[in-house]
Amino acid sequence: MSSEPVPGGPVPSGPVPSGGVNLPQTPSFRLDGRRALVTGAGRGIGLAMAAALAQAGAEVTLAARTAADIEAGAAAIVAAGGKAHAAVLDVGDAAAVAAFFAARPAFQVLVNNAGTNRPMPMWEVSEADYDAVLDLNLRAAFFVAQGAVRAMRAEQLKGGSLIHIGSQMGHVGGPNRSLYCASKWAIEGLNKALALDLAPHGIRSNTIAPTFIETPMTAPFFADPAFRASVLDKIKLGRLGTVEDLMGAVVFLASDAAALVTGTSLVVDGGWTAD
């Protein structure tokens, strides 16, 4: 009988008799038994991240300021067979963030997703605009990561994964996006520094840098035909991103399949930054 695999069938695993080879085994993408936290999880990218992690077996906590959104998201995940909880949290309140992590067991996975944008020419930016974008996109992300890491270290967890939702605008510039680019470039620098601090503790830190993604938040921008055309002209694959385009990325970075991946950015931009 031939020992060749059947085309389209499963690949044999483990020892192969009579002079065969031992094939390496793909590390698991499953997250069974792990606890994950996703901030800004009420809708759009955050909800998709939570769903992806739950579908891979993680027990996911959805955090945001609006209870109705995260409760609906958690209920949908549970109805689909996953494990999920809702937790009202203002990530911009450092004291509330510290209390949040002190009140529950450590998470093995953090998705730092909460963020905002106020697109406008730089000469129109007010101090209030600056504070709103940088405080949420950078300051809050730092202290959420700090809270997650302190809990991981207190419980001596190994194999933790921090995943920060950055942007292609953390790798390039964009018109009317001085604040957003500043915050997302800062996240990329912060990510590299965190990776170095945390590597001795077995904790990884990475970013996901999406292109423009169709979500309820971005829909009003794409209603402008000129803006939509200008975006599609830069995305080499010729279409806007969807939240599904990011779900595999977050599962990969959270899982053992990315065990040697830290301090880097997984750019999901359809080729925007390739030229």
Tell how far CA 59 is from the center of its chain.
Answer: 16
Strand partners, 255: none
How far is Cα 64 from Cα 69, in angstroms, rounded to an integer? 8
- Residue entry with tokens 């809050």: 140
Strand partners, 86: 62
Q: Each residue of 23-52: b (16+ CB within 10 Å) or e?
A: eeeeeeeebeebbbbbbbbbbbbbbbbbbb
Which one of 101, 143, 180, 272 is the catalytic residue? 180
Is 180 among the catalytic positions? Answer: yes
Amino acid at 263: G
Helix (H) or strand (E) holding 204: strand 204-210
Which residues 6+ apart lie within 8 Å of 236 measured at CB? Answer: 270, 271, 272, 274, 275
What letter would DSSP give residue 43?
S
Q: Each residue of 153-165: b (16+ CB within 10 Å) or e?
A: eeeebeebbbbbb
How far is Cα 270 from Cα 259, in angstroms, rounded to an integer? 25
Nearest to 227 by CA among 237, 215, 216, 218: 218
Record the tokens describing residue 241, joined without a space: 């991103």
Q: What are the residue numbers of the active site?
A: 180
